[in-house]
Every structure is written in C-alpha cells, then in structure tokens.
A and B are shown apart, each in its own frame.
Chain A
Amino acid sequence: MNNLFLLILAAGLPLAPVASAETATDFQSRYQAEVRQSDPNFEGSPQRGRQFFQRVGVKDWSCSTCHTENPAAVGKHAVTAKPIDPLAPAANGQRFTRADKVEKWFKRNCNDVLGRSCSTQEKSDVLAYLIAVKP
C-alpha cells in the first residue's frame, strides 16, 4: 500500500510546476503557438506590439505612460514616481525570465491600462515588439 502511494507520488512529480528561468523569446513563442491553434498564420508583430504599447486605454494610461515610449529606458511609476527598470530584454536581462512574474504583471497592468485582461495575441505582439527594441 505504501509502495503504491510512493509510486503515485513519484509519477506526479514531473507535473509539478517548476520555476525555471526562461527568456522573452520562450514567452513569445508560447503565446504565438497558442494563438496559432485558432489562427494558423498568426505571427507576433513588433509593429502591432508597438502600437499596442502606446495606445491609451480606459483611464489615460498606456504601457508607455510608465515604461516611456522607449522600453529600453528607465521608466517612472505614474502614481508613486518610483523609477522602473527598463522593460526591453536587451536592456534588462531580468525581464521575462519567470512565468509567475510575467503573468502577475500582465494581469495587473492590462487591468490598469485596458480595464480587462490582455489577449494572448496582444501578449505575443507586445513581446515581439519588446524583443525587437535595442538599447
């Protein structure tokens, strides 16, 4: 009985969430693959991503309000004035390396700017844009 329990436990281990370092390209590829399930020709677009980044949403904020129109530059929090480290992976190697952080910030910031969640297509586009930004 004990052995059976251990066997079940061991079999489940590979499914346990593992916090491993990733890259911005990993996230972009994953979002893109997800959109392709319903739109096989979809490709994350830096141009659409840039427009999205600068588009003002529900309360006069866009992504660039805090991150500035240059995501490779240091930004500034719209409410607290706290400096924000660059968002473009080329300027800041810590960005888009952990799924929990990426999803946490998409959830918060999409809600603040758009008043809703971002679609997977929007995430794919904005990642394509941020990856293309060079300092």
Chain B
Amino acid sequence: MKSITYLLLTILPILASDAAFAEEGRRYVLNKDYRDECGSCHVPYPPQMLPARSWNVLMTGLDKHFGSDASLDPAKARQIGTYLASNAARSDRPDASRTAPRITETPGFRREHRDGHDGLTAALWRSPAVKTPANCGACHTQAAEGSYRENEIRIPRNP
C-alpha cells in the first residue's frame, strides 16, 4: 500500500504536466485580455502549457521578453499574470530557475514534437512555412483559437 501511494505521488505531477500535451490534443478557452495583449505578437499559448512559476517569471520580465520589449502597463500585467497562474499546469516543471521558461522545453512538448513523430524533421522546423517552434499555427491550424486537436494538424507540404 505504502509503495502504491509513493508511486502515485511520484507519477501524478508528471501526468499533470503532460496532460496539456495529451495525444489527442484539446481546445482551451482563452481569456480575452490575454488573447488581445499576448496574442498580438504570437499565438496565445494556453496557460496550461507552463506551470505558474514559469508564468510568474515571464510576467515580471516582459520588457526583455525573448529578445523583444513586450512591456504592459502594470495593472494589465497583474491581471493577465493572475489569469495565467490560476490556469497553469499543476506541475512545477520545467525548472523554474531558468530565467526564460520555454514551452518547447517542457517534457510534453518534446514528446509530442520528437524527431520523426508525425513526419517532423529538423528541416521542417527551419523551413519558411514554420521558421520557429513558436509558430504553432504553421501546423496546428486552430492554434489562434486555443485548439490543438489532432485532427486539425496540417503539416506543410514542400515547405
């Protein structure tokens, strides 16, 4: 019994972090302010794709956001930060000591986008049609709406 409890305690947080990247994908409901503000430069990544600690690090360094100034007025930043943290993945991974936590470094993202899976190749990532893994919409056709369902994926041909 004790060992089962131990097993569950070890596995559950891992399952929680991976839930956002479940094989069949899912559709997330996104807050309007978040979509408007963050979605103007990139796909509004679902809050469930990073743990709260990672969102907190991001939201306190918006003036140096992956090489761009993405600063917001403090009231709006607080409001969006609260939304992100309260809908975040329940696991504490990836390592929150990183200064720029990236969705692409989470175990779930890596597993679903491993080389060869669904025909993914290094050349495809670099192609003009994709350019960067931040460009979810290149393959996840409904990413702008927060939807990552398997049947919506269209990998660009001859990218």
Contact = CB atoms under 8 A, between A and B. Distances in A.
B86 interface: no
A81 B41 CA distance: 9
Interface stretch (A7-15, A25-33, A107-115, A127-135): A107-115
Given A79-B132, A80-B134, A108 B69 contact: yes
A111 B134 contact: no
Interface string A71-100: 000000101111000000000000000001
Contacts, number: 40
Contact-residue size bin, chain B (C-beta under 8 Å from the other chain):
10 to 19
A81 B69 contact: no
A104 B37 CA distance: 11
**Mostly helix, strand, loop or mixed at chain A's interface?**
helix
Given A80-B134, A81-B134, A112 B43 contact: no
Interface residues of A, number: 12
A41 B116 CA distance: 64
Interface in B36-91: 41-43, 63, 66-73
A94 to B, nearest CB: 12
A77 B138 CA distance: 14
**Mostly helix, strand, loop or mixed at chain B's interface?**
loop
Contact of A77 (B42, B69, B130): B42
B71 A79 contact: no
A112 B68 contact: yes
Question: Which of A77, A82, A109 has the largest number of chain B CB atoms within 10 A?
Answer: A82
Nearest to B128: A81
A108 B130 CA distance: 25
Nearest to A108: B69
A81 B71 contact: no
B121 interface: no
Contacts of B41: 77, 79-80, 82
Contacts of B131: 81
4 smallest beta-carbon distances between A and B, as pairs: A80-B42, A111-B69, A81-B131, A108-B69
13 contacts: A77-B42, A79-B66, A79-B68, A80-B43, A81-B134, A82-B42, A82-B137, A104-B71, A104-B73, A107-B69, A107-B71, A108-B70, A108-B71
